[in-house]
Structure 1
Protein backbone atom coordinates (compact mmCIF):
# COMPACT_ATOMS: atom_id res chain seq x y z
CA UNK A 1 0.00 0.00 0.00
CA UNK A 2 1.21 3.50 -0.81
CA UNK A 3 -0.31 6.79 0.36
CA UNK A 4 0.80 9.91 -1.49
CA UNK A 5 -0.13 13.59 -1.29
CA UNK A 6 0.20 16.13 -4.11
CA UNK A 7 0.21 19.62 -2.57
CA UNK A 8 -0.08 21.34 -5.99
CA UNK A 9 -3.55 19.91 -6.56
CA UNK A 10 -4.35 19.11 -2.90
CA UNK A 11 -5.04 15.43 -3.57
CA UNK A 12 -4.38 12.23 -1.62
CA UNK A 13 -4.09 8.89 -3.38
CA UNK A 14 -4.17 5.61 -1.47
CA UNK A 15 -2.87 2.81 -3.69
CA UNK A 16 -3.91 -0.54 -2.25
CA UNK A 17 -2.54 -2.79 -5.01
CA UNK A 18 0.81 -2.29 -6.75
CA UNK A 19 1.33 -2.63 -10.49
CA UNK A 20 -0.59 -1.50 -13.54
CA UNK A 21 -4.31 -2.15 -13.58
CA UNK A 22 -7.01 -1.21 -16.02
CA UNK A 23 -9.58 0.45 -13.80
CA UNK A 24 -12.97 2.03 -13.89
CA UNK A 25 -13.70 4.95 -11.60
CA UNK A 26 -16.60 4.90 -9.18
CA UNK A 27 -17.32 8.39 -7.82
CA UNK A 28 -18.65 8.42 -4.27
CA UNK A 29 -18.73 12.25 -4.08
CA UNK A 30 -17.26 15.10 -6.12
CA UNK A 31 -14.07 14.70 -4.04
CA UNK A 32 -13.80 10.95 -3.45
CA UNK A 33 -13.38 8.30 -6.14
CA UNK A 34 -12.61 4.57 -6.07
CA UNK A 35 -10.50 2.91 -8.75
CA UNK A 36 -11.91 -0.56 -9.36
CA UNK A 37 -9.89 -3.14 -11.29
CA UNK A 38 -10.68 -6.49 -12.86
CA UNK A 39 -12.73 -8.80 -10.67
CA UNK A 40 -14.03 -5.81 -8.66
CA UNK A 41 -10.60 -5.41 -7.03
CA UNK A 42 -10.29 -2.09 -5.16
CA UNK A 43 -7.01 -0.72 -6.52
CA UNK A 44 -7.01 2.76 -5.03
CA UNK A 45 -8.86 5.67 -3.46
CA UNK A 46 -8.48 9.27 -4.66
CA UNK A 47 -9.39 12.21 -2.43
CA UNK A 48 -9.52 15.63 -4.08
CA UNK A 49 -9.63 18.89 -2.07
CA UNK A 50 -7.94 16.76 0.59
CA UNK A 51 -7.36 19.45 3.22
CA UNK A 52 -11.06 20.27 3.22
CA UNK A 53 -12.22 16.64 3.16
CA UNK A 54 -9.70 15.39 5.75
CA UNK A 55 -9.59 18.55 7.85
CA UNK A 56 -7.67 21.79 7.52
CA UNK A 57 -4.04 21.98 8.58
CA UNK A 58 -1.82 18.94 8.75
CA UNK A 59 -2.89 15.66 7.25
CA UNK A 60 -4.37 13.36 9.89
CA UNK A 61 -2.24 10.89 11.80
CA UNK A 62 -1.95 7.48 10.14
CA UNK A 63 -2.04 4.49 12.47
CA UNK A 64 -0.96 1.05 11.25
CA UNK A 65 -2.04 -1.92 13.35
CA UNK A 66 -0.38 -5.28 12.77
CA UNK A 67 0.83 -4.18 9.34
CA UNK A 68 4.52 -4.37 8.42
CA UNK A 69 5.80 -1.17 6.82
CA UNK A 70 8.86 0.51 5.33
CA UNK A 71 9.72 4.18 5.77
CA UNK A 72 10.60 5.81 2.44
CA UNK A 73 12.19 9.24 2.22
CA UNK A 74 10.14 11.80 0.23
CA UNK A 75 11.31 12.70 -3.26
CA UNK A 76 12.57 16.28 -3.51
CA UNK A 77 10.24 18.40 -5.65
Structure 2
Protein backbone atom coordinates (compact mmCIF):
# COMPACT_ATOMS: atom_id res chain seq x y z
CA UNK A 1 0.00 0.00 0.00
CA UNK A 2 1.29 3.46 -0.90
CA UNK A 3 0.61 6.49 1.30
CA UNK A 4 1.23 10.12 0.34
CA UNK A 5 1.15 13.11 2.67
CA UNK A 6 0.97 16.87 2.07
CA UNK A 7 1.90 18.62 5.32
CA UNK A 8 0.74 22.04 4.07
CA UNK A 9 -2.77 20.69 3.46
CA UNK A 10 -2.43 18.19 6.33
CA UNK A 11 -3.93 15.61 3.97
CA UNK A 12 -2.97 11.99 3.37
CA UNK A 13 -4.04 9.53 0.71
CA UNK A 14 -3.92 5.78 1.23
CA UNK A 15 -3.75 3.97 -2.11
CA UNK A 16 -5.41 0.56 -2.04
CA UNK A 17 -4.98 0.04 -5.80
CA UNK A 18 -2.21 1.24 -8.09
CA UNK A 19 -1.82 5.04 -8.20
CA UNK A 20 -3.57 6.37 -11.28
CA UNK A 21 -6.45 3.89 -11.06
CA UNK A 22 -9.48 5.87 -12.23
CA UNK A 23 -11.93 6.89 -9.53
CA UNK A 24 -15.56 6.51 -10.62
CA UNK A 25 -17.26 7.41 -7.34
CA UNK A 26 -16.29 9.24 -4.18
CA UNK A 27 -18.14 8.79 -0.91
CA UNK A 28 -17.68 11.54 1.67
CA UNK A 29 -18.01 10.10 5.17
CA UNK A 30 -20.23 12.10 7.47
CA UNK A 31 -17.78 14.55 9.10
CA UNK A 32 -19.72 14.41 12.37
CA UNK A 33 -19.64 10.61 12.56
CA UNK A 34 -16.01 10.43 11.40
CA UNK A 35 -15.02 13.43 13.54
CA UNK A 36 -13.33 14.90 10.46
CA UNK A 37 -13.33 14.73 6.70
CA UNK A 38 -12.59 11.34 5.16
CA UNK A 39 -13.34 10.55 1.51
CA UNK A 40 -13.49 7.00 0.15
CA UNK A 41 -12.84 6.42 -3.58
CA UNK A 42 -14.19 3.54 -5.67
CA UNK A 43 -13.49 2.37 -9.23
CA UNK A 44 -16.16 1.63 -11.84
CA UNK A 45 -16.55 -1.94 -10.51
CA UNK A 46 -17.18 -0.73 -6.98
CA UNK A 47 -13.75 -1.74 -5.67
CA UNK A 48 -12.09 0.47 -3.09
CA UNK A 49 -9.35 2.55 -4.74
CA UNK A 50 -8.17 4.69 -1.85
CA UNK A 51 -8.93 6.80 1.17
CA UNK A 52 -8.29 10.53 1.53
CA UNK A 53 -7.84 11.74 5.11
CA UNK A 54 -8.03 15.44 5.89
CA UNK A 55 -6.61 16.52 9.26
CA UNK A 56 -4.27 13.59 8.80
CA UNK A 57 -2.12 14.50 11.84
CA UNK A 58 -5.22 14.15 14.00
CA UNK A 59 -6.52 10.96 12.37
CA UNK A 60 -3.43 8.86 11.55
CA UNK A 61 -0.67 7.54 13.78
CA UNK A 62 2.60 9.50 13.54
CA UNK A 63 4.44 6.42 12.27
CA UNK A 64 2.00 6.15 9.35
CA UNK A 65 2.73 9.74 8.31
CA UNK A 66 6.47 9.26 8.88
CA UNK A 67 6.44 6.41 6.35
CA UNK A 68 4.37 8.33 3.79
CA UNK A 69 5.78 9.84 0.61
CA UNK A 70 6.07 13.60 1.14
CA UNK A 71 4.20 15.43 -1.61
CA UNK A 72 4.16 18.80 0.15
CA UNK A 73 4.12 21.71 -2.26
CA UNK A 74 6.84 24.10 -1.13
CA UNK A 75 6.24 26.80 -3.73
CA UNK A 76 4.10 27.76 -6.72
CA UNK A 77 5.93 25.27 -8.94
CA UNK A 78 5.98 22.48 -6.34
CA UNK A 79 9.60 23.27 -5.50
> Shorter-chain TM-score category?
0.5 to 0.7
Q: What TM-score, normalized by structure 2, do the two folds share?
A: 0.64
Where does structure 2 lack aligned partners over 5 or more consecutive residues?
Answer: 32-36, 73-78
Where does structure 1 lack aligned partners over 5 or more consecutive residues?
Answer: 63-70
Instruction: Tell me the residue number matched to 2:12.
Output: 12
- Tell me how many residue pairs correspond in the alignment: 64
Instruction: Tell me the residue number matched to 2:76.
Output: none
Q: Aligned-pair RMSD on alpha carbons? A: 2.6
Instruction: Tell me the residue number matched to 1:42.
Output: 48
In the aligned structure 2, how far is the partner of 1:75 from the partner of 1:28? Answer: 24
Q: What TM-score, normalized by structure 1, do the two folds share?
A: 0.65
